[in-house]
A and B are shown apart, each in its own frame.
Chain A
Amino acid sequence: MKAKLSNAQMAWRAAQDIADGAYVNLGIGFPEMVAKFQPPGRQAVFHTENGVLNFGEAPAQGEEDWDLINAGKKAITLKPGAAFFHHADSFGMVRGGHLDVAILGAYEVAETGDLANWSTGPTGIPAVGGAMDLVHGAKRVAVITDHVTRDGKPKLVKRCSLPLTGVACVTRVYTSLAVIDIENRQFVLREKLPQLSFDDVQALTGAALVVEGTFADLVVPEL
């Protein structure tokens, strides 16, 4: 499959759906990139689990203050209007429905909205962090992910085979090929790369893609 979005392009697309003033949590790793692509004139307030609201970009190398980090343990900076708080308040913001959006990575997403993103099975060291909390409470839980695994297997599936992070929690998926909503336990295609046919995308998806009315071209800038 040649036509696909880069990580930066997926992050750009996800950023277009974040409203000005929204409170947002980005999962550690690649979802953090979404913060770089806020449309001009919009400013979201980013939340990190370890107790900071309204943090900004990484400081210059050598300027790090290691008491000022995000959930991925990376050094951050503060924007005007930032706040510190302890972990129980932080997760109160999460579970209490105060965040507008959480954007997370995924190993698998099921058509039911189930998400698997914390464990690849019984071997190795299990680690969950805040993922299981984040999938409950944010008004909108979105996933940003390659459409298929490195081996070319679908990541959008009928039922997750890996240990679940949460049940029926994801409502939108931004993939390297498409934008897909989860409604009534179905994948609903909203946008796809214009280079691909519907059948191309369906062939790389592990459950039925539904079309409601029509779908749009997924068009993103070169990044």
Chain B
Amino acid sequence: MDKTVPDLAAAVTGIEDGMHLMIGGFGGAGAPIELIHALIDQFRATGSPNKLTVINNNAGNGRIGIAAMIDAGMVEKMICSFPRSADPRAFTEKYLVGKIGLELVPQGTLAERIRAGGAGIPAFYTPTGFGTDLALGKPVAEFEGRSYVQERWLKADVALIKAELADTMGNLTYRKAARNFSPLMATAAALTIVQASRIVAPGEIDPEQVVTPGIFVDRIVKVADPRQEEALMRAGVAYV
């Protein structure tokens, strides 16, 4: 079994118009910049994939990564908890004129919805959001004297993930706080695409250290020296 693909273009093939994309990362930590930019390249060359729904904690920063996807015009809707950033211009401009949709989800609910999607649990109850505008229209139930809001699973067609180390079977480890949503998203997408700084043979990652087991991973591409979104932001880089 070898899930590696030769290059970034091959890694992002088969992503179609209208799909739901989970993209790992919290701010710049864990953002799979090279996979995102490969998808933008494909859109610029072919006009597809377009009208994407993107699921991430944020809604882009500066003029790279998810912000560059939004600028390119290929994102129809964001599902996120915090669409603000140091430079939120890309999302803000389109949102204020109604050119991009937003589903705002509390951060822990977003994480749990993704986990539920990957775990085959269609709905769950959480105290988060009870009595607030973000729970409007959702079923409420009482357990042991407290009120809880029903939330539904979140699944995606594709997940784009940045890992530190992968073996060719797709077992993954992450770097520091770049882990965040990625292990959850890897479970909740029909097609999970990973960029990894290093790819090793099966057996070279201690099974005790595996964070994402390979069963959740479909494609792996090596990006030896990945760029970091926050570092690019601070250097004023734009992907246009």
Q: Which positions in A face B, CB cutoff 8 Å?
A: 48-52, 65-69, 73, 84-88, 90-91, 94-95, 114, 119, 125-133, 136-137, 163-167
Tell me if B26 and A50 are in contact (CB < 8 A): yes
Tell me if B27 and A49 are in contact (CB < 8 A): no
Most B CB atoms within 10 A — which of A67, A127, A130?
A67
Tell me if B133 and A67 are in contact (CB < 8 A): no
Other-chain contact of B181, A52, A87, A131 (Cβ < 8 Å): A87
Task: List A contacts of B96 (CB < 8 A).
Answer: 125
Q: Chain B nearest CB: distance from A209 CB in Å?
A: 25
Tell me if A127 and B84 are in contact (CB < 8 A): yes
- CA of A52 to CA of B175, assembled, Å: 12
Question: Which residues of B (148-205) have their CB < 8 Å from a CB of A?
Answer: 174-184
- CA of A66 to CA of B132, assembled, Å: 33
Tell me if B29 and A66 are in contact (CB < 8 A): yes
Say what secondary structure dominates the interface of chain A: loop
- Chain A's closest residue to B84 (CB) is A127
- CA of A114 to CA of B92, assembled, Å: 29
Q: A67-B30, A125-B88 are in contact. Are A130 and B130 (CB under 8 A)?
A: no
Tell me if B108 and A128 are in contact (CB < 8 A): no
Tell me if B81 and A50 are in contact (CB < 8 A): no
Task: List B contacts of A66 (CB < 8 A).
Answer: 28-29, 228-231
Q: Which positions in B face A, CB cutoff 8 Å?
A: 26-30, 81-86, 88, 91-92, 95-96, 102, 104-112, 114-115, 126-134, 174-184, 211, 228-231
Interface contacts beyond A69-B28, A87-B108: sample of 6 additional A-B pairs, CB < 8 Å, sorted by A:
A50-B177, A65-B176, A66-B28, A67-B177, A125-B84, A125-B96
Tell me if A132 and B180 are in contact (CB < 8 A): no
Tell me if A50 and B180 are in contact (CB < 8 A): yes
Task: List A contacts of B231 (CB < 8 A).
Answer: 66
Task: List B contacts of A133 (CB < 8 A).
Answer: 106-109, 128
Q: Chain B nearest CB: distance from A103 CB in Å?
A: 17
Q: Chain B nearest CB: distance from A47 CB in Å?
A: 12
- CA of A166 to CA of B128, assembled, Å: 8
- CA of A163 to CA of B27, assembled, Å: 25
Q: A67-B30, A167-B131 are in contact. Are A125 and B83 (CB under 8 A)?
A: yes
Q: Chain B nearest CB: distance from A192 CB in Å?
A: 30
Tell me if B112 and A88 are in contact (CB < 8 A): yes
The contact sample of 22 A-B pairs, CB cut-off 8 A, is A48-B177, A49-B107, A65-B176, A68-B29, A87-B26, A87-B184, A88-B111, A88-B184, A91-B112, A95-B128, A127-B82, A128-B134, A129-B82, A129-B106, A130-B106, A130-B107, A132-B128, A132-B134, A133-B108, A164-B131, A164-B133, A166-B130
- Chain A's closest residue to B105 (CB) is A128
- Chain A's closest residue to B88 (CB) is A125
